[in-house]
Structure 1
């Protein structure tokens, strides 16, 4: 049933046509509800409560730019805008310097101590085999040699610990 234009539209229960025209849209002869323009949309990104809309611009010469980039690299912050706001509002900017020599030294120590753990396991196995397969005299002779080598390893370990302490004091400034 096509009612044609708005003039010929039968409106029931409405005393005044202007009241109904506000509530309904008439398109191509069909009545549709008018959507409220203030209705919240469900799509898209949620708007921020306090968006940053104020922008400032500065100009730096080559020397100042080099200093700025050096400070930015030391800060470890990935966004320059965040770095600038942190500097302006005097938030603490942490700089982390990675010393590759210290990393290599640490890796070497880790390998060294893993070898010590392996030696300890082998030590226990050797003592069991000596006690199980040899006489007490031969076993005690081999154990004496093993104890001498263990004492040398202990001296070596103490030297490594002393060198590590010296390295930490000279190169790793702990705060």
Structure 2
């Protein structure tokens, strides 16, 4: 009955690797060598120490990832600000619909004129922010 259960289907379980890693090598390091190895490993950003050592042995290209906390903080704040800016746009659309729904056209136009002035101020503020971002990228990210 169990044989019938798997007829026409593949066997369950993990598929075997094409080239399994079966050879094991052990080596010992001094404290200084171990500290250097660990610092290189952490700087590489690779999550597996064995893969890191193999890459170093066979001279594969390793990329070092350095995370700048200031840059991360800047982008997090910028993302938060962008979210707020989008919510203002949503509120803007809702406000325009409400103005035309509940007020006369003349009164709605007067309120829209005031809203337009505020929008122009926001647009100039947005241009200043874009300029600051470009300055930041030129100074700090091109290193």
- Structure having the larger proportion of residues in strand: 1
Alpha-carbon offset, residue 171 of structure 1: 2.3
User: Pick from 27, 30, 33: which aligns with 1:57?
Assistant: 27
Alpha-carbon offset, residue 164 of structure 1: 1.2
- Structure having the larger proportion of residues in helix: 2
- After superposition, residues 6-21 of structure 1 pair within 5 angstroms as none
TM-score, length-normalised on structure 1? 0.61
Distance, in Å, in 1 between the alignment partners of 2:138 and 2:90 is 33
Distance, in Å, in 2 between the alignment partners of 1:50 and 1:125 is 62
Distance, in Å, in 1 between the alignment partners of 2:46 and 2:75 is 26
| CA RMSD, Structure 1 to Structure 2 (Å) | 2.6
In structure 2, the gaps of 5 or more residues are 1-15
Alpha-carbon offset, residue 83 of structure 1: 2.1
Is residue 2:138 matched to residue 1:172? no
Name the structure 2 match of 1:155. Answer: 124
TM-score, length-normalised on structure 2? 0.73
Alpha-carbon offset, residue 148 of structure 1: 0.4
Alpha-carbon offset, residue 69 of structure 1: 2.1
Distance 1:49-1:118 versus aligned 2 partners, 3 A rule: closer
Is residue 2:72 matched to residue 1:103? yes
Larger radius of gyration: 1
Q: Which runs of 4+ in 1 moved over 6 A?
A: none
The alignment covers a number of residue pairs equal to 127
